[in-house]
Amino acid sequence: MEAVAAGEVSVQDEAVDKSTFKKCNQIAFYRRQKLLHPGKSLYRALLDSVMLSDENVKFQIIHEENKVPLQVEICEIEGSIFRLKIEEESPLRARYKVPDVLIKEPTTQRLLISQKEAGILVLSSINEDYKLQITANPFQVELQSKGETVLSMNSNGLLYFEHLQPCPSDRILTTEKKEAASDSSKEKQEDLGLWQEKFGSFLDIKACGPSSVGMDFSLHGFDHVYGIPQHTEALLLKNTSDGDAYRLYNLDIFGHKLHDKIGIYGSVPLLLAHKPNRTSGIFWLNSSETLVDIGTKTVAEPSGSAAGTAKQRAVPLTDVRWMSESGIIDVFLLTGPTAFDVFKQFAQLTGTQALPPLFSLGYHQCRWNYEDEQDVKRVDAGFDEHDIPYDVIWLDIEHTDGKRYFTWDKKKFQNPRKMQEHLRKKKRKLVVIVDPHIKVDPMYSLYSQAKDKGYFVKDRNGQDFEGICWSGSSCYLDFTNPEVREWYADQFAFKTYKESTNILFVWNDMNEPSVFKGAELTMQKDAVHYNNWEHREVHNLYGFYQQMATAEGLIRRSSGKERPFVLTRSFFAGSQKYGAVWTGDNTAEWGYLKISIPMLLTISIAGISFCGADVGGFIGDPEPELLVRWYQAGAYQPFFRGHSNMESKRREPWLFGEKNTQIIREAIRERYVLLPYLYTLFYRAHTAAEPVMRPLWVEFPRKIETFCVENEYMLGNALLVHPVTEQEAKAVSVLLPGPEEIWYDFRKFKRMEDPGIVKILVTLENIPVFQRGGTVIPVKTTAGKSTEWMIDISYELRVALDTKACATGELYLDDGHSFQYLHKKQFLYRKLAFHKNILSSSCADQSGQYHTACVVERVIVLGFGQQPTSVTACSKGGKKKEVLFTYDMETSALKLEKLALSVDADWEIYIN
Catalytic residue positions? Answer: 509, 512, 585
As a dihedral over the C-alpha atoms of residue 397, residue 399, residue 402, residue 406, rounded to 10 degrees, the angle is -90
Query: For the chain, how many helices (H) and strands (E)?
Result: 17, 51
Torsion on CA atoms 247, 252, 256, 259, rounded to nearest 10 = 10
Rounded distance between C-alpha atoms, residue 638 and residue 600, angstroms = 9
Interacting residues of 463 by C-beta distance below 8 A, sequence separation 6+: none
Contact 299, 315 (CB under 8 A): yes
Buried b / exposed e over 445-472, threshold 16 CB at 10 Å, is: ebbeebbeeebbbbbbeeebbebbbbbb
What are the backbone dihedrals phi and psi of residue 611, each rounded to the nearest 5 degrees, phi first?
A: -140, 155
Q: Which amino acid is at 184?
A: S
Helix pair angle (416-425, 373-385), 10° resolution: 10
**772 beta partners:** 743
202 phi, psi to nearest 5 deg: -95, 140
The contacts of residue 133 (CB under 8 Å, 6+ apart) are 120, 121, 122, 141, 142, 144
Name 841's Cβ contacts closer than 8 Å, sequence gap at least 6. Answer: 830, 831, 832, 856, 901, 903, 905, 906, 907, 908
> For residues 869 and 898, is the Cβ–Cβ distance under 8 A?
no
Could you tell me if 342 and 690 are in contact, meaning their C-beta atoms sit under 8 angstroms apart?
no
Give the whole-angstrom CA distance, residue 770 versus residue 748: 10
The three-state secondary structure class of 171 is coil
Our CA dihedral for 742, 746, 748, 754, rounded to 10 degrees, sits at -20
Helices (H), 363-413: 373-385
Spatial contact of 170 and 181, defined as CB atoms under 8 Å apart: no
- The SS3 of residue 419 is helix
- Please say whether the beta carbons of 368 and 397 come within 8 A: yes
Of 586, 708, 610, the C-alpha closest to 356 is 610
Helices (H), 636-764: 658-673, 675-688, 696-699
Q: What is the DSSP letter of 26?
A: G
